[in-house]
């Protein structure tokens, strides 16, 4: 099979996102079109360009008088990726321009070669970025609707949240405490010439100073360690699994949090990993097998659990629900292009329905941890408060060393060198 250039494939992927496709659906098949040595560049261009897209769109609007047609979104994407390469990567500027123009020809859109060349050279003449007429939201690389919401809800945190969304996340590890101790694994990393630091607030957390492929991690395929964001690792602390308990992970795929619970408490009676997607559940199976763990796998919609799951019920339930992903935009940068205001209310309806569906499966005296990777109140506090008006619920206090206290839980905001933006609310069911 003939391999395509990194820039051509990146432009195709970004262009399809601009046309409404999800990045998760496009990858990794698209990367398979690129030669191994070109894949890092392709990935960097895709993710980096999408993280910066609202700003790039503003710059392009400054430089192109007549907007391109939708069918030419790949050309628009190519220009955006070239802007990212010119401003963020170390590629010589003349090489970026020449390679980008050459890519236009590979795309069989020779008519655009003059346009692309002219736009990029005009951009270079007009730098720095302060010289462009951009809105504050565009300068923060956020869509205007989301920028306004974050400013309304976070005020002084707006710039920090926006900046975090523009950076690659750190690579954080979770040591499998059943098989190894953190200090011992740190020594393995040192022996492998990988620099890393322990996370003070997480007993098994480690952050690498530079990301690497998982194949470079000592003992990864033997189950010694997993990759998991530091904020996500707080789930096991909050649920605090006890020997003999039955725990349900209701939206389990890909299984990172379920595996952490099993590592934290090997003497559970049972951990049930549930998800509505059979394909996604396979990832839970793969992860538990790699780590040498055992769980019960059930394909089911958390909004309508099978009656067999309601009795005898669970001591604890984790509801890591579908959401807008506004707290993990750096990992899912297509959020900046694809999400709309209407999506937030739709997610909130689904989230409330999940809580309603799970509550009957929780034993009296049991606890339910509600988690989103959203930073928006409509999906977080507002959902929990709406649920608490329907059911007799005790909201348990949560205090962390980082983040913001909310009425019904705790909000962790994304940090450039820290964890993702997650919301936690711990609910308990009154005992009979």
- What gap in Å lies between CA 181 and CA 175, rounded to an integer? 7
- What gap in Å lies between CA 214 and CA 212, rounded to an integer? 6
Q: Among 265, 247, 101, which residue's Cα sits nearest to residue 178? A: 265
**373 assigned to active site:** yes
For residue 311 the two structure tokens come to: 């009795």
Q: Are 386 and 352 contacting, i.e. CB atoms less than 8 angstroms apart?
A: yes
Q: Are 80 and 49 contacting, i.e. CB atoms less than 8 angstroms apart?
A: yes
- What gap in Å lies between CA 109 and CA 373, rounded to an integer? 40
Q: Which of 251, 259, 274, 373 is catalytic?
A: 373
Please report, for residues 294, 309, 427, the alpha-carbon distance to residue 268 in angstroms, rounded to integers and kept in the order given: 10, 17, 20
Q: Are 196 and 189 contacting, i.e. CB atoms less than 8 angstroms apart?
A: yes
Task: Please enumerate in sequence order all residues whose Cβ is within 8 A of that of 66, keeping only pairs 6 or more positions apart, or say none.
Answer: none
- What gap in Å lies between CA 266 and CA 257, rounded to an integer? 14
Rounded to 5 degrees, what are φ and ψ at 341? -55, -40
Helices (H), 19-92: 23-26, 39-63, 73-88
- What gap in Å lies between CA 271 and CA 317, rounded to an integer? 10
Task: Please enumerate in sequence order all residues whose Cβ is within 8 A of that of 154, keeping only pairs 6 or more positions apart, or say none.
Answer: 161, 375, 413
For residue 93 the two structure tokens come to: 């500027």
Q: Are 368 and 316 contacting, i.e. CB atoms less than 8 angstroms apart?
A: yes
For residue 20 the two structure tokens come to: 């409404």
Q: Among 108, 73, 87, 93, which residue's Cα sits nearest to residue 44? A: 87
- DSSP symbol at 4: B
**Residues classed as catalytic:** 373
């Amino acid at each position: 099979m003939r391999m395509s250039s990194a820039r051509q494939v990146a432009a195709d992927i970004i262009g399809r996102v601009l046309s409404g496709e999800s990045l998760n659906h496009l990858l990794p098949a698209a990367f398979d079109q690129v030669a191994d040595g070109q894949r890092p560049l392709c990935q960097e261009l895709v993710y980096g360009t999408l993280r910066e897209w609202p700003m790039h769109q503003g710059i392009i609007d400054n430089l192109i008088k007549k907007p391109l047609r939708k069918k030419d979104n790949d050309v628009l994407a190519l220009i955006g990726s070239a802007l990212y390469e010119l401003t963020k990567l170390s590629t010589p500027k003349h090489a970026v321009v020449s390679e980008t123009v050459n890519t236009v020809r590979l795309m069989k859109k020779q008519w655009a070669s003059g346009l692309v060349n002219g736009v990029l050279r005009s951009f270079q003449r007009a730098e720095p970025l302060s010289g462009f007429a951009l809105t504050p939201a565009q300068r923060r690389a956020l869509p205007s609707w989301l920028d306004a919401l974050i400013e309304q809800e976070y005020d002084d945190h707006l710039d920090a949240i926006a900046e975090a969304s523009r950076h690659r996340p750190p690579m954080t590890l979770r040591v499998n405490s059943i098989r190894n101790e953190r200090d011992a694994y740190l020594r393995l990393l040192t022996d492998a010439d990988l620099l890393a630091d322990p996370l003070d607030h997480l007993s098994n957390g480690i952050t690498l100073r530079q990301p690497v492929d998982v194949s470079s991690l000592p003992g990864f395929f033997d189950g010694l360690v997993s990759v998991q964001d530091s904020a996500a690792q707080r789930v096991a602390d909050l649920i605090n699994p006890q020997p003999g308990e039955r725990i349900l992970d209701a939206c389990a795929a890909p299984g990172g949090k379920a595996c952490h619970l099993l590592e934290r408490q090997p003497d559970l009676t049972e951990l049930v990993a549930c998800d509505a997607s059979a394909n996604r559940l396979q990832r839970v199976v793969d992860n538990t097998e790699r780590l040498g763990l055992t769980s019960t796998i059930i394909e089911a919609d958390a909004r309508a659990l099978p009656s067999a799951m309601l009795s005898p019920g669970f001591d604890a339930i984790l509801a890591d629900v579908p959401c807008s992903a506004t707290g993990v935009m750096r990992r899912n940068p297509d959020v900046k292009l694809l999400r709309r205001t209407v999506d937030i209310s739709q997610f909130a309806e689904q989230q409330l329905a999940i809580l309603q569906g799970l509550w009957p499966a929780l034993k009296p005296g049991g606890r339910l941890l509600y988690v989103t990777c959203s930073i928006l109140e409509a999906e977080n506090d507002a959902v929990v408060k709406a649920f608490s008006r329907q059911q007799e619920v005790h909201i348990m206090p949560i205090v962390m060393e980082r983040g913001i206290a909310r009425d019904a839980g705790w909000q962790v905001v994304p940090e450039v060198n820290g964890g993702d933006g997650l919301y936690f609310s711990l609910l308990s069911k009154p005992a009979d």
